[in-house]
Amino acid sequence: MAVRIDILEGTSVRETSDGLEMTRIAIVDGLTGDKNQRCLSALSILGVPQLLSSHPAVSSMKLRERIPESISPTAVRMRLLYRDAGRQPPDDPYRSTTSTVEISGALSQIETSFAFDGTAIETSYLYPAAYPNDRLAGKTISQKGFVARLLPEITMVFSRLERITYSALLSKIKLYQGKVNRVGWSKDPDAAARTWLCGPIVGRPTDQGTQYQVSYQFQYREDAWDTTAEFFCQDTGRPPDDLVEGAGLVDVQVYTEKDFNGLNL
């Protein structure tokens, strides 16, 4: 394998409000495999600078990103991006600005067989004596009733500028999106478990993929994001009227819990 570093074309120094950035260009030749395999192989070739190593000319600049790109069937061009270590310490892989928040309310409709106080809804009907079905004629039949219920929900959306890599952002989305809070957290310390659901996490690149404007959406449900499974009678196709917790009714936790404090919002 041949590694050539500090190719003139593409080498640059950039100053932003966040500090200095320096770019070096490396060419790795003699690789095999498809485009993705060549790019992955180039990252581990001896002679290619490793992440967090210092720039040879300015020791305070640390290597933060390595971006390989296939340029031929055997060669990869790699962009090495260095940033000021003083502004982005090694133990802080990304830096965030203070977040802004939007709060709104909404109503979602569900079907329920329980009143506000948890008692079952029942309906009854007295069939006329002349009803053509002898099994029902003259009898009062009771059954469970179902009604639509509007659940109040609170939605919070936090947005902030983050210095974060694509892979780190993707990992964060996989870790938190679709999860519920395990305990109270920074934005609602008294929240009961599983009352906040982390919705879409969206990152929009603002600086060649080194900074993202990231938004986090959370929805609150006072009754928690659990659900109740009911037994359905095979004869009627409806739940029996005498269902109680543990006998035909089962509370189900459907979302995985996560400590939202890890987001540092």
Nearest alpha-carbon partner for 181 in 201, 195, 165: 195
The percent of residues above 70 in pLDDT, for the chain, comes to 86
What does DSSP assign to residue 195? -
Bigger pLDDT: 91 vs 69? 69
Q: pTM of the full predicted structure? A: 0.52
Query: Measured in whole angstroms, how far is the alpha carbon of residue 216 from the centre of its chain?
Result: 8
DSSP 54: B
Does residue 87 carry a pLDDT above 90?
no
More confident residue, 122 or 183: 183
Query: What is the C-alpha separation between 198 and 216, in angstroms, rounded?
Result: 7
75 and 31 Cβ atoms separated by less than 8 Å = yes
User: Rounded to the nearest 5 degrees, what angle is found at the Cα of 220, between the Cα atoms of 215 and 226?
Assistant: 120
Contacts of 37 (CB under 8 A, 6+ apart): 31
At 25-41, the pLDDT tens digits run: 999 999 999 988 999 99
| Residues 189-247: tens digit of each pLDDT | 999 999 999 999 999 988 666 789 999 999 998 889 988 777 766 566 666 656 555 55
| CA angle, residues 190, 195, 199, in degrees to nearest 5 | 120
pLDDT higher than threshold 60 for residue 92:
no
Q: How far apart are CA 236 and CA 247, in angstroms?
A: 18
SS3 content of the chain, % helix, strand, coil (to 5): 10, 45, 45
Q: Which helix (H) or strand (E) holds 168?
A: helix 166-176
SS (H, E, C) 137-158: CCCEEEEECCEEEEEEEEEEEE
> What SS3 class is residue 98?
coil
Among 110, 179, 92, which Cα is nearest to 148's? 110
The pLDDT of residue 177: 95
97-128 residue pLDDT tens: 677 888 888 777 777 777 878 788 888 889 89
Question: How sure is the predictor about 90, in pLDDT bands with cuts at 50, 70 and 90?
Answer: very low
